[in-house]
Amino acid sequence: MRVYLGSDHAGFELKEHLVARLKEQGHEVVDAGPADYDPADDYPPFVLRAAEGVAADPGSAGVVIGGSGNGEQIAANKVAGVRAALAWSEETARLARRHNDANVVSLGARMHTAQEAEEFVGVFLRTPYSGEDRHTRRIEMLTAYERSGELPPLPGGGRTR
């Protein structure tokens, strides 16, 4: 599988570790950077490039990494066609794929060991989307909103307060 990775300075060491491990496992890795550690860098240039790679490459996956992973998840989700999920356990990584058909996983390098992060990424890459109608319906609502900006109808023609 082709896997795009991007990080900031806080995630740089973990990104380098995951690049090497994913290559060892036979994945085609696209490293969107940074190429070198810079304690003053910003994550958007690297994370957005990784996310754009995933959006333009159906069947690929992405891994974005920062200190907490929160900003990286937010940035990746700004790219049309990306569904990025923050994983903090194997179960959240699994559910991101199974229920949300997430194509990018975000990790906090300051929150987990390299071994834990490897496990989260492995689970994420191995888990298929369930294809269940309820999940597909929800993803389609979000995709339609992303394209049109129109809110989905409320259930039963209801209204908000």
Task: Say if residues 82 and 62 touch (Cβ distance below 8 Å).
Answer: yes
Q: What is the pLDDT of residues 108-137, one digit of tens each?
A: 999 999 999 999 999 999 999 999 999 999
Give the active site residue among 16, 72, 112, 118.
72
β-bridge partners, 104: 62, 84
Mean pLDDT of the chain: 97
* Domain parsing of the chain, residue ranges: 2-157
**Burial 79-108, CB ≥16 within 10 A → b, else e:** beebbbbbbbeeebbbbbbbbbbbbbbbbb
**What's residue 158's pLDDT?**
74
CB-based contacts of 81, cutoff 8 Å, min separation 6: 54, 55, 103, 146
13 is catalytic: no
Looking at 99, 119, 135, 146, which residue is catalytic?
99
Q: Compute the distance between CA of residue 55 and CA of residue 97 in angstroms, rounded to an integer.
A: 16
pLDDT confidence of residue 156:
82
| Fold designation for 2-157 | Ribose 5-phosphate Isomerase B; Chain: A, (3.40.1400)
Residue-wise pLDDT for 58-75, tens only, equals 999 999 999 999 999 999
The tally of CA atoms less than 13 A away on the side-chain side of residue 62 is 36
Are the CB atoms for 64 and 87 separated by under 8 Å? no
Q: pTM (2 decimals)?
A: 0.96
Whether the per-residue pLDDT at 6 is higher than 80: the answer is yes
Q: Count Cα atoms within 13 angstroms, Cβ side, for 100.
A: 20
* Active-site residue, 99 included: yes
Over residues 86-102, the pLDDT tens digits come to 999 999 999 999 999 99
